[in-house]
Amino acid sequence: MYRWHACFKEGRNSIEDDPRCSWQSVVACSIKDSVKDMINCNRRMTAIADELCISVSTVHGILTKELGMFKVSARWVPGLLKDNEKNCQVRCAQAFLSRYDAEGDEFLDRIITTDETWLHHLDPETKAMSSVWKTLRTPPPKKALVQKSAGKHMFIFFMDRHGMILQHRVPDGQTVTVTYYSKVTKSIHLKL
């Protein structure tokens, strides 16, 4: 207080801080550049604070506020295609579009897709499905741990653009092969 009083007595009018020494901004800029370099070298780096001997909150502030970055997880995909596989997909899609241009909806009516899956006799609700909103005074719900039943069957579903054509239960012990699919698709043709 005495120092501020003396400054105003000598004619100071502003209550704002004077510009600080430039060494602090140089250090801050240097740390920011170091964090940026480390992240650019390895986007999965987690020990930046330890490497630079600064706090985790400082590193987090630099990454989020200064550099505008945020952490995301990779999106899971069934598989990553190689370049030749991508080119094959493009060629197939172009051939599909060409046939559709030439034949129209009749072409779509001849397309049948299939999917196979295991269906359990009992498929209990998940933890997320059983979640509820509650107040501080109400007790949390209880739920017995239930596992999927041991009994299950494989089903093959055949669909066209109008909906389900056939739901086929694979007999127990049957291996689903190309030959088996061929036999089942012949039965579809007979039913149509």
Residue 123 and residue 170 share a domain:
yes
Q: Does residue 8 lie within any of the structural domains?
A: no
Q: Does residue 138 lie within any of the structural domains?
A: yes
Rounded to whole angstroms, the Cα distance separating 163 from 112 reads 10
Partners of 153 in beta bridges: 119
Q: How many domains does the structure of the chain reveal?
A: 3
Q: Does residue 9 lie within any of the structural domains?
A: no
| DSSP single-letter state for residue 136 | S
Chain centre to alpha carbon of residue 106: 37
Contacts of 74 (CB under 8 A, 6+ apart): none
Rounded to whole angstroms, the Cα distance separating 109 from 100 reads 11
Backbone angles phi, psi at 3, to 5 degrees: -65, -45
Last residue of a domain, one of 57, 92, 109: 109
Residue 93 and residue 53 share a domain:
no
Q: Is the model more confident about 142 or about 62?
A: 62
Instruction: Encode pLDDT of 11-29 as tens digits.
Output: 878 777 766 544 445 456 7
Is residue 95 very low, low, confident or very high in pLDDT (cuts 50, 70, 90)?
A: very high
Rounded to whole angstroms, the Cα distance separating 49 from 68 reads 18
Last residue of a domain, one of 91, 109, 127: 109
Q: Does residue 7 lie within any of the structural domains?
A: no
Residue 42 and residue 24 share a domain:
yes
Report whether 130 contacts 143 (CB < 8 A): yes
Locate 165 and state its tokens: 């054509």
Instruction: Encode pLDDT of 127-164 as tens digits.
Output: 677 776 667 777 877 776 666 666 788 999 989 899 99
Residue 52 and residue 120 share a domain:
no
Helices then strands, counting H and E runs in the chain, come out as 7, 3
Q: Does residue 52 lie within any of the structural domains?
A: yes
Lowest-confidence range among 17-21, 113-117, 151-155, 170-174? 17-21
Residue 163 and residue 103 share a domain:
no
* Domain limits for position 148: 112-191
Chain centre to alpha carbon of residue 83: 23
Residue 172 and residue 145 share a domain:
yes
Q: Does residue 147 lie within any of the structural domains?
A: yes
Residue 36 and residue 84 share a domain:
no
Residue 103 and residue 45 share a domain:
no
Report whether 142 contacts 127 (CB < 8 A): no
Residue 83 and residue 127 share a domain:
no
Mean of per-residue pLDDT scores for the chain: 81
Residue 186 and residue 138 share a domain:
yes
Q: Does residue 1 lie within any of the structural domains?
A: no
